[in-house]
Amino acid sequence: MIPDNIHSLFVKSKARQLGFDFCGIAKAVKLNDDARRLESWLTKGMHGSMHYMEKYFDQRVDPAVLVPGAKSVITLMLNYFPSVTQNPAAPKIAKYAYGKDYHEVIKEKLNQFLFELRENIGEINGRGFVDSAPVLERSWARRSGLGWIGKNGNLISRQSGSFFFIATLIVDIALQYDDVFAKDYCGTCRKCIDACPTDAILENKIVDGGKCISYFTIELKDQLIPSGMQGKFQDWMFGCDICQDVCPWNRFSKPHHEPAFTPIPEILDLSTSDWEEMTEEAFRKIFRHSPLKRAKFAGLQRNLKFIKGK
């Protein structure tokens, strides 16, 4: 039988070949502590109208429910920090949405990853997940030794900051496991807490999702943004990067090398008036492969009106 460490070395080598920046491996266990924290967060209603967060609770905290016989959780991180910035006159868009929809990009990489594992190791039962599935990816990233969870709820790497997508591959083979990242390098810093204009970041690493600008501009579909938030969005039309932009660890962020994340020119250059004059047909054509389609044309128009005070 091939030793676990040989398979683990292959996993990490293949991750690099597929363009992932970091790869860590953790033993597949039930996340009891995370389950208690998630239950408390949900009970306090901090998920706002994101009722999907209440579903599939067992799947979120137990990888064996998602993949029967699960033994290992492989966590992969892909940098999305851009080399360019938006025109100051453009409504602000979160950096992760500058290029092609990351779900499409990473899902393709995960499918290839699982194919390669089966070709080189043997029959493997496994599933890949990126963001939209019921997986606590930041907890698994910490358990895989890739970083710590900051006060703003993001996974932070000492080497490269927090502008990363996190993907998860759960498999039913035993591998060599990395040590848990046990330290917390946020210390007494509270820059993200103090900078959040909607007071969404609370003490003890709790984020009130129902107060986050990203929630209002993306998740709050078909509803008006509460008037109490007027004047607090700082021109953010889709998502928000404030807590990451002020994080001292992001001084180590370096531009990504993923061609699919090359910014769509319109995201960098269109002014507020350009957006207001855009037709729905043009929106669908320009942003057909963009994360912006998640908020829909009507949602973005609503957001524009709100940040302009209309």
Q: With beta carbons less than 8 A apart as the criterion, state whether 291 and 102 touch.
A: yes
Where are the alpha helices (H) located in the chain, listed in sequence order? 4-17, 32-43, 57-61, 63-66, 102-120, 137-143, 191-195, 213-214, 242-245, 265-269, 272-277, 280-286, 296-307
- Interatomic CA distance for residues 33 and 51, integer angstroms: 22
pLDDT by residue for the chain (310 residues), tens only, comes to: 455 789 999 999 999 999 999 999 999 998 867 666 766 666 666 656 665 655 555 667 789 988 999 999 999 999 999 999 999 989 999 999 999 999 999 999 999 999 999 999 999 999 999 986 667 899 999 999 999 999 999 999 999 999 999 999 999 999 999 999 999 999 999 999 999 999 999 988 889 988 999 999 998 887 899 999 999 999 999 999 999 999 999 999 999 999 999 999 999 999 999 999 999 999 999 999 999 999 999 999 999 999 988 6
- Interatomic CA distance for residues 149 and 33, integer angstroms: 14
Q: With beta carbons less than 8 A apart as the criterion, state whether 306 and 230 touch.
A: yes
Q: How do the domains of the chain map onto residue ranges?
A: 1-310
Task: Classify the C-alpha dihedral 144-122-58-41 as positive or negative.
Answer: positive
149: closest CA among 191, 183, 121, 107? 183
Which pTM was predicted? 0.91
Burial of 166 (0-12, 13-18, 19+ CB in 10 A): buried
Task: Classify the C-alpha dihedral 242-244-247-250 as positive or negative.
Answer: negative
Angstrom distances, CA of residue 49 to CA of 34, 45, 112, 132, 202: 21, 9, 35, 16, 19
| From 131, 199, 269, 274, the catalytic residue | 131
Please indicate whether residue 245 is annotated as part of the active site: no
Angstrom distances, CA of residue 95 to CA of 132, 240, 281, 283, 289: 18, 8, 24, 19, 15
> Which residues are CB-neighbours of 190 under 8 A, at least 6 positions away?
151
